[in-house]
């Protein structure tokens, strides 16, 4: 069965959205990608309405099995964190209304899944997303590439032998994992041992 994941890189100014179909053998194919933009000159309620309407359209049009959203993490700029959190809430609520499961992934989880290193930069993520999806050109802007990376991450994690609770059901050295997935599984196992 092919898993369809809608990835969202939330933000008030630019909200990246990407849909990816991933087969059991982990072959990923881009279905659609885009960015919803809102102007800082608009009121907050209108900006959130634009994002809500857009995500509703994407969910209705592409009917994903699951939604993958970047987990909000602490930044120095509180207003940026608030905007990301507000956009995330609108997106998560839209999925919940349809009974679509939502998964949250940190930026370092996404980087590790796609590149093999949780400290990779945006250029490395974009380059590997382009390669993984066999695209002729990199998705732009970076928010679009990040949304696709989120979708890939979730699909690979769901099908990589790790269950939803983070418990590995195959060893980190499993030959069915890609090198990036193996590195991620090893990092997860190390983090669990450190707890």
Active site amino acids: 9, 70, 143
Strands (E), 55-122: 66-70, 102-105
Cα 22 from Cα 137, distance rounded (Å): 20
Three-class secondary structure assignment of 29-93: EEEEEEEEECCCCCCHHHHHHHHHHHHHHHHHHHCCCEEEEECCCCCCCHHHHHHHHHHHHHHHH
Cα 182 from chain centre: 19
Cα 115 from Cα 192, distance rounded (Å): 21
Q: Which whole-number Å values give the CA distances from 56 to 6, 51, 188, in the listed order?
A: 12, 8, 33
Smallest Cα–Cα separation from 13: which of 34, 41, 32?
A: 41
Place of tokens 């990816």: 20
């Amino acid at each position: 069965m092919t898993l369809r994941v809608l990835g969202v890189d939330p933000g008030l100014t630019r909200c990246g959205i990407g849909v990816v179909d991933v087969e059991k053998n982990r072959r990923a194919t881009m279905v659609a990608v885009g960015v919803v933009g809102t102007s800082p000159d608009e009121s907050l309620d209108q900006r959130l309405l634009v994002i809500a309407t857009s995500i509703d359209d994407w969910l209705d049009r592409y009917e994903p099995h699951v939604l993958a959203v970047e987990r909000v993490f602490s930044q120095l700029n509180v207003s940026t964190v608030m905007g990301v959190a507000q956009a995330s809430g609108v997106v998560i609520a839209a999925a919940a209304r349809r009974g679509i499961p939502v998964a949250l992934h940190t930026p370092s989880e996404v980087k590790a899944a796609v590149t093999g290193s949780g400290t990779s930069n945006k250029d490395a993520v974009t380059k590997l997303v382009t390669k993984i999806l066999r695209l002729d050109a990199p998705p732009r802007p970076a928010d679009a590439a990040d949304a696709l990376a989120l979708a890939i991450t979730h699909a690979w994690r769901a099908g990589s032998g790790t269950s939803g609770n983070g418990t590995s059901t195959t060893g980190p050295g499993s030959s069915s994992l890609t090198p990036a997935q193996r590195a991620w599984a090893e990092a997860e196992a190390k983090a669990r041992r450190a707890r």
